[in-house]
Structure 1
Amino acid sequence: RLAYKKNYRRTTFCGSIYYPNLIKGYSVSTPNTIWQTDITYIYVKQEDKFYYAVFIIDVYTKKIVGHKVSGHMRATANKEALLEAIKDNGCPRIHHSDRGSQYSSLEYTQLLKSNNIDISMALSAQDNAYAERVNKTIKEEYLDYWKPKNYSQLKSCVAKAVTHYNTKRKHNHLDRIAPADFETMWYKNELKTKPIFSIFDKENNLKTVNTI
C-alpha cells in the first residue's frame, strides 16, 4: 500500500458565497444522487511545473463521471468537467464540493441552478472526503507510476487512469465490482442486493447501513 503524501500546495481559496452542507447523514441508494468534486495539483518534474485536475465522482457508484486537466485554477476548468459529466450521465440531485472560489463562482453556480441541481458545500476537506480520496488514488496509484513528462502526456495519462479506475478497479463497498460495472448492473437489476450508503457526520466515510 502506498504511503500517504501530504498535499502541500494549496488548491482551495474560499469564495465569498457559501452554501450549506446538505449531505451529512444523507442516505444514498441510487446513482446520480450525490456528486462530489475537488481540484488537485499534479507536479510534472521534467517541466518543473504544476498542473491541475478536476474530478467529479458519483458517491453511490464511485464512478468518476467527469474530469478536466488544465494549467490553471480558474472556474472554467471545473465548468468543463461538470458539462462533460452532465452530458454523459445526466444530472445529480446534489452537487457537493469544498468552498473553493471556483465552485462558488457565478458561472459555476448558475450552471448548477440551471440544471436544477442542489448546491452543497463542505466546511473542511474532511467533509469532502470521497473526492479527496479519488485525488489521492489517481495521483499515487497511477500518475506516480506512469510519470508523465509533459502536459500532453499528463492529459493522456489522466484519461487512461479514469478509464481504468471506472472499469477495472474493484471496490469493497461495491462487493468487489468496478464502478462502471456496478452502475450497469444496478440499472439492469442484476445485483444480488442494492446497497444503501449513509454519509456520516464527522466520519464522512461511506458505510453500508442497509440493503434492499
Structure 2
Amino acid sequence: MKQMLAWQDISRQGAHQGIARMHKAHRDLLDTIELAGRVRSEHPQISCRDIHYAARGQMPRGRDWTEQLLLSCGFRVKTPPRSFTVAGQGVCANLIEGMSITGANQLWQTDITYVWAGRRWYYVSFVVDVYTRRILASHCSRDLSSASQIRCLSGALSRVAGQDLSGLIVHTDRGIQYTSGEYKRYLESHGLRHSMARYAWQNAYCERVNRTIKEGYLQHYTTDSYSSLAAGVCRAVRLYNHSKPHRGLPCRLSPDQFVKELNQGLHPDYRVNIWSKLTSTKMLYVN
C-alpha cells in the first residue's frame, strides 16, 4: 500500500482524507434522500427545490446540490393538463388589477374545484389571503350552490373575527355561484367589496391553490367517500399552511411561518403587486 501511494505521489494522510471525503459524500447523499423521502411523504408533489427549503437546517449541503441530486434520483414531479370553467351573468368589475397589497385582509380570492371520490364528483372551495398566501377556509360540497360558497366564506370570516376587515375585497371568477343575488347580498351584509375575474389568470392565487391541493395532496390520499375527502382536504390545508415552502413568500417560508414573522415585525417592505397591463413591462397576448 505504501509503495502504491508513493508511486501515485499521495501521502498516507492525503489518502485517509480522501477516503473520509468519500464517506462524507456518501452519507450526505443518503441523508438527503432520506430527508427528501420524509418531506415527500407529507407533500407528495413538492418540487425538488422546495424539498430543500422544507428541510432547511437539516440538509447536509446547499440548495443547488440538493436539487440536482434529487432530480437525478427520480424526484422530479409531473403535472397533468389544466381544466377550464364556464362564466355566468350579472358580473362585477375587476377591482384588483394593478393593486399593491401591503398587508393581510386586503384581498381574498376564492374559487371552486372538483374532485372525484367514491364514484362521483364533489366540489371543494377555498378562500386564500393573497398577501399571506394562507388558506383561510375550505369547504367540501356535494353541489355547486351559492350556499356552499357562502359557508366557505363564512368560515374564513370566523377565522379572522376581531381583525380589521375594512376595505377587504373578495375576488372571484364569474361562476353562477358568485353572480347570484344570495352571494352578493351576503358580501354586502358584511361590508365586503366584490371583484370578479374575466380570465382564470386574474384569479391566479386561488387557482394555484386548487391545483396544489388536488395534485399535490388529494390525488395521493385515499378519498373514496365524502368523509374521507373532507378529512383529506383538512389535512392538506394544514400541511400547506404549516410547512409547505411558498416561492412567493420571503425566504420561501410557509404561510404560517410568514404570518409568525410578520407578527414579530419582520418583512415590513414586503408587498404583492397584482399584474396590470398598464404597469407591466411585458404584454401577454392570448390567441
Question: Which one is further off, 174-183 or 137-146?
Answer: 174-183
Task: Give the RMSD, CA atoms, in angstroms.
Answer: 1.8
Query: Is this contact kept in 2: 1:31–1:183, CA < 8 A?
Result: no
Equivalent residue for 2:120, pick from 49, 52, 58? 49
Equivalent residue number for residue 54 of structure 2: none
Equivalent residue number for residue 209 of structure 1: none
SS at match of 1:195: coil
Higher strand share: 1
Equivalent residue for 2:151, pick from 64, 80, 91? 80
- How far apart in 1 are the matches of 2:125 and 2:267? 33
Equivalent residue number for residue 141 of structure 2: 70
Equivalent residue for 2:257, pick from 181, 186, 190? 181
SS at match of 1:107: helix
SS at match of 1:157: helix
Query: Is this contact kept in 1: 2:119–2:224, CA < 8 A?
Result: no
Q: Which runs of 5+ in 2 are unaligned?
A: 1-75, 281-287
Calculate percent identity across the aligned residue pairs.
36
Equivalent residue number for residue 92 of structure 2: 19
Equivalent residue number for residue 112 of structure 2: 39
Bigger-Rg structure (1/2):
2
Equivalent residue number for residue 109 of structure 1: 184
- How far apart in 1 are the matches of 2:196 and 2:126? 16
1:41-72 deviations in whole A, cap 9, x for unaligned? Answer: 0012xx22111000110000000011100111
1:2-25 deviations in whole A, cap 9, x for unaligned? Answer: 3332344x6x44332111001111
SS at match of 2:252: coil
Q: Does 1:121 align with 2:192?
A: no
- How far apart in 1 are the matches of 2:267 and 2:111? 32
Matches within 5 A, 1:113-152: 113-152=188-227
- How far apart in 1 are the matches of 2:211 and 2:111? 11
Query: Is this contact kept in 2: 1:56–1:66, CA < 8 A?
Result: yes
Question: Which one is further off, 112-121 or 54-63?
Answer: 112-121
Q: Which runs of 5+ in 1 are unaligned?
A: 206-212
1:62-87 deviations in whole A, cap 9, x for unaligned? Answer: 00011100111111111000000001
- How far apart in 2 are the matches of 1:133 and 1:140? 11
Query: Is this contact kept in 1: 2:101–2:271, CA < 8 A?
Result: yes
Letter in 1 for 2:125: V
Question: Which one is further off, 178-187 or 21-30?
Answer: 178-187
Query: Is this contact kept in 2: 1:2–1:140, CA < 8 A?
Result: no
- How far apart in 1 are the matches of 2:267 and 2:138? 31
1:117 to partner: Cα distance: 1.0
SS at match of 1:103: helix
1:126 to partner: Cα distance: 1.5
- How far apart in 2 are the matches of 1:2 and 1:78? 31
1:110 to partner: Cα distance: 1.0
Letter in 2 for 1:197: V
SS at match of 2:248: helix
Q: Does 1:168 align with 2:243?
A: yes
1:153-184 deviations in whole A, cap 9, x for unaligned? Answer: 00000011011111111112222211122123
Q: Which has the higher contact order (CA 8 A, sep 6+)?
A: 1
Q: Number of aligned residue pairs: give it.
A: 198
Matches within 5 A, 1:84-99: 84-90=155-161, 91=165, 93-99=168-174
TM score, norm. by length of structure 2: 0.65
Letter in 2 for 1:38: D
